[in-house]
Amino acid sequence: MLSRTAENLFWMARYMERAEATARLLTMGQRMAILPGAHHRDEWRSVVRATGAGHQFPEGTIVTESDAVSFLMLDADNPSSIRSCLLKARANAKSARTMLTQDMWEALNDGWRKLDSYDVGEARQQLPTLIDWVKTRVMTFRGAAHSGQLRNEGHDFLRAGSALERAQMTLRLLDVKYYVLLPETEVIGGNRDHYQWTSVLHALSGSRAYHHVYGGTYTPWQITDFLMLNRLFPRSVAYCYDQLAYRLNRLAGWHDARAACHDTVQEMVAALEKLDSGEIFRFGLHETVQHGLSMTNRLGAEIAQAYHFG
């Protein structure tokens, strides 16, 4: 396979994953914003922070829903906005067109200019519908790849890209929760804390699954355990790392060659296997998450190097 094609597939999957994650974050923002007293607080800041773009909004000001919807959904200048992600995914797809099934292409191509015509007022008004639209686009795309794409190396690059992006988003969400959502004066496990932790679960579509695993109680360490270490939940960091290791191993098999990325991913999986949630909190959730983020970044760079991305 052409290196350029592999790169396009990898990034196409990342952008689609990112578009969906951002749509989920907007849902989380809306949920938090309807909590009592929300208008005094700066809930939307945590949402933009989770996308890694907190620095775009000066400290000391309140980030409004308008700001967040405009920046995260529509902004053509924000490379991580849903609109930018969908456009870039389509451009990647166009460049790698011969590696996509017709259905995958149609999922990306159907209504690809839809968000161009929205202003922030309309987008806020129709936010739930738009979010559903984005999620449906991504899920249709994912389903088309799942059910129709050849299981060749192209599929492995696609799935690796999506697992990498997903791991990053879960890590960021955990970090935001730890750093931003919990003001110094609040008690861990307090009422508001409870809502905020559950909104993280909601953002990851994990609240029902969480119930099935832990019953009805919410505790920060159980939620952390679930999102970091649970190997059954497909958005957990552990699951994503396992996926990455599996996909990279397959790529090593196709190519009969190993590279730095293969060692790194093994290291990531092994490090996570040694952890339990108690240890995470002893070591520090923030520190654990930061380490995870820097390892995924390193892995991304090593994958690009191993497969001669441009």
Partner 1 sequence: MPFHEMFEPDGSIRPCYDEVQKWVERTGIAGLNRRMDEAEAIFRRIGITFAVYGEGGDPERLIPFDLLPRIFTANEWRVLDKGIRQRARALNAFLHDVYHRGEIVKAGIMPADIIYKNSAYLAEMADFTPPGKVYSHIVGIDIVRTGPGSFEVLEDNCRIPSGVSYMLENREIMTRMFPELFNQGIVAPVDDYPAELLKSLKEVAPPACKGDPVVVVLTPGSLNSAYYEHSFLADLMGVELVEPADLFVDEDRVWMKTTLGPKAVDVIYRRIDDEYIDPLVFRPDSLLGVPGIFNVYRNGGVTLASAPGAGIADDKAVYIYVPEMIRFYLGEKPILDNIQTWQCGKPDEMAYVLDNLHELVGKEVHGSGGYGMLIGPKSTKDEVAAYAARIRANPGEFIAQPTLDLSTVPTLGPAAVVGRHADFRPYCLVGKQIRLVPGGLTRVALTEGSLVVNSSQGGGVKDTWVLQD
Residues that bind partner 1 in the complex, under the rule CB under 8 A:
1-6, 91, 94-95, 97-98, 102, 105-106, 109-110, 153, 251, 254-255, 307-308, 310
**110 or 287: CB nearest partner 1:** 110
In whole angstroms, give the CA distance from residue 302 to residue 297: 9
Cβ 264 to partner 1 shortest distance, Å? 18
First-to-last C-alpha distance (Å) of the chain = 14
Cβ 76 to partner 1 shortest distance, Å? 17
DSSP-assigned states of every residue in 109-173: HTTTTGGGG--HHHHHHTHHHHHHHHHHHHHHHHHHHHHHS-SSHHHHHHHHHHHHHHHHHHHHH
Tokens standing for 198?
């559950």
| AA letter at 274 | K
User: Is-contact 237 272, C-beta < 8 A?
Assistant: yes
Cβ 85 to partner 1 shortest distance, Å? 18
**110 or 273: CB nearest partner 1:** 110
User: Is-contact 278 223, C-beta < 8 A?
Assistant: no
Cβ 2 to partner 1 shortest distance, Å? 5
Cβ 12 to partner 1 shortest distance, Å? 13
**153 or 175: CB nearest partner 1:** 153
Distance of CA 102 to the CA centre of its chain: 26
Cβ 307 to partner 1 shortest distance, Å? 5
DSSP-assigned states of every residue in 232-264: SSTTSHHHHHHHHHHHHHHHHHHHT---HHHHH
284, HSE (Cβ side, Cα atoms, 13 Å): 5
Cβ 305 to partner 1 shortest distance, Å? 12
**123 or 248: CB nearest partner 1:** 248
**91 or 269: CB nearest partner 1:** 91
Compute CA distances 157 → 152, 225, 241, whole Å.
9, 28, 14
Cβ 116 to partner 1 shortest distance, Å? 12
In whole angstroms, give the CA distance from residue 265 to residue 214: 29
Tokens standing for 124?
């806020």
Cβ 303 to partner 1 shortest distance, Å? 11
**Torsion (CA) 198, 200, 205, 211 in degrees, nearest 10:** -30
